[in-house]
């Protein structure tokens, strides 16, 4: 049963973007073309892949299987193209890099060195939450992504930085006078979390579950400064890596060390295990090891 890669790409983007219209923008096609491609794929496979509920499309059980396989097939295709390009001796390469919106500034000095050494390499940067970057990496659309430990066994990783987490509490709260706290000390307070896709959420929520409770989530935001402002009003508490917290000091917010097992903030650079890693990506990792030997 022949399945064309273009129909797989259209199907994957419909799932990833949450609908046909957004997927059409990503693949530079009309919504009608994307819809026909997905219908063609369903006809070739012989089962429905999407359950269309109003304006939403939800994966069927068969769709989940095809989606996972499609990600692997498209990633293999991209690996093949990249490897053949380098075998042809192209002088201009491409580094496809994914960085988290939180702490992407950590990599600014590395960009300067990389540009000086490899001026012909085109660096294509995307920024998202770590969990979304992992999904994009899984599909083969980027070579490397920054994420937080723990990561799936399907990825190789190289440590970038580790820091303790700080609990941000209103200065008038009794816990603001403590040097350190654990999650049981905080369990009765509302939490201010980041939007879905930030790996820091996973780190905190997993630690709470190990302690046997689900926190009350008062708000979610993608903006660090807004989270800090909410803490200042007494709306709830938030969590940040130590150096990030230092950059967002507020006169009525106190930073208290979170002394909790398995909650150290450990940023790593990840790539797909056993996948082809371009010379451009290998050079990025090599420069990081060279400039950060302690890592």
**Looking at residues 178-186, what average pLDDT do you find?**
96
DSSP letter (8 states) at residue 241: E
* DSSP 8-state secondary structure symbol assigned to residue 199: H
Strand partners, 237: 191
User: Which long-range contacts link 229-232 to residues 24+ away (Cβ below 8 Å)?
Assistant: 230/192, 231/168, 231/169, 231/170, 231/192, 232/170
Give the mean pLDDT of 197-206. Answer: 89
Give the model's pLDDT for residue 294: 58
Residue 198 to residue 133: CA distance in whole angstroms: 10
Note the CATH number of domain 165-263: 3.40.190.10
Residue 21 has φ and ψ, to the nearest 5°, of -65, -45
Q: Is the pLDDT of residue 191 over 70?
A: yes
CB atoms within 10 A of CB 270: 24
Mean pLDDT: which of 52-61, 194-203, 234-243 is highest?
234-243
Q: What is the pLDDT of residue 140?
A: 87
Instruction: Tell me the pTM.
Output: 0.63
Angle of the 61-87 helix axis to the 31-45 helix axis, nearest 10? 110
Both tokens assigned to 73: 């097939």
Average pLDDT, the chain: 87
| Contact predicate 262/150, CB 8 Å | no
Residue 254, pLDDT > 90, answer yes
Q: What is the CATH number of domain 5-70?
A: 1.10.10.10
- Ranges 86-100, 133-147, 166-180: which has the least confidence: 86-100
Q: Classify domain 91-161+266-291 at the CATH class level.
A: alpha beta
Quick one: pLDDT band at residue 86, thresholds 50, 70, 90? low
Give the pLDDT band (50/70/90) at residue 85. low
What are residue 238's DSSP bridge partners?
A: 168
Q: Where in the chain is the domain with CATH 3.40.190.10?
A: 91-161+266-291, 165-263
Q: Are strands 217-221 and 165-170 parallel, antiparallel or unpaired?
A: unpaired
Q: Is the per-residue pLDDT at 143 higher than 90?
A: yes
* pLDDT for res 90: 42
Confidence of residue 96 (pLDDT cuts 50, 70, 90): very high
45-56 tens-digit pLDDT: 888 888 877 667
Can you spell out the DSSP letters for 133-153?
HHHHHHTTS-SEEEEESS--T
Q: Taking residues 141-151, report their average pLDDT.
A: 91
Position 223 pLDDT exceeds 60: yes
Integer CA distances (angstroms), 185 to 172, 178, 192, 259, in order: 16, 11, 16, 10
Ranges for all domains in the chain classified under CATH 1.10.10.10: 5-70
pLDDT band at 1 (very low <50, low <70, confident <90, very high): very low
C-alpha span between 54 and 69 (Å, rounded): 26
189 φ/ψ angles, rounded to the nearest 5 degrees: -100, 145
Task: DSSP letter for 250, please.
Answer: -
Residue 89 in this model has a pLDDT that exceeds 50 = no
What percent of the chain stands above pLDDT 90?
42
Cβ atoms of 138 and 75 closer than 8 Å: yes
């Amino acid at each position: 049963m022949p399945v064309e890669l273009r129909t797989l790409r259209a199907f994957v983007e419909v799932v990833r973007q949450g609908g046909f219209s957004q997927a059409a923008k990503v693949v530079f096609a009309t919504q009608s073309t994307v819809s026909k491609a997905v219908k063609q794929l369903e006809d070739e496979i012989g089962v429905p892949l999407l359950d269309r509920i109003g304006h939403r499309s939800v994966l069927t059980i068969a769709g989940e299987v095809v989606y996972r396989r499609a990600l692997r097939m498209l990633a293999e295709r991209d690996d093949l193209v990249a490897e053949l390009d380098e075998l042809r001796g192209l002088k201009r390469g491409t580094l496809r890099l994914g960085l988290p919106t939180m702490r992407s500034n950590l990599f600014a000095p590395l960009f300067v060195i990389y540009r000086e050494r490899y001026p012909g390499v085109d660096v294509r940067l995307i920024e998202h939450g770590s969990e979304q970057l992992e999904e994009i990496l899984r599909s083969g659309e980027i070579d490397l992504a920054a994420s937080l430990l723990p990561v799936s066994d399907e990825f190789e990783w190289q440590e970038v930085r580790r820091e303790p987490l700080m609990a941000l509490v209103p200065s008038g709260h009794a816990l603001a006078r403590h040097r350190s706290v654990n999650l049981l000390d905080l369990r009765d307070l509302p939490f201010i979390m980041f939007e879905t896709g930030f790996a820091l959420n996973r780190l905190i929520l997993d630690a709470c579950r190990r302690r046997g409770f689900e926190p009350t989530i008062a708000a979610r935001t993608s903006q660090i400064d807004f989270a800090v402002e909410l803490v200042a009003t007494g709306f709830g508490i938030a969590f940040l890596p130590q150096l990030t917290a230092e950059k967002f000091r507020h006169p009525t917010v106190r930073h208290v060390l979170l002394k909790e097992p398995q909650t150290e903030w450990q940023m790593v650079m990840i790539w797909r295990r056993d996948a082809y890693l371009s010379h451009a990506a290998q050079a990025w990792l090599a420069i990081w090891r060279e400039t950060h030997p302690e890592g």
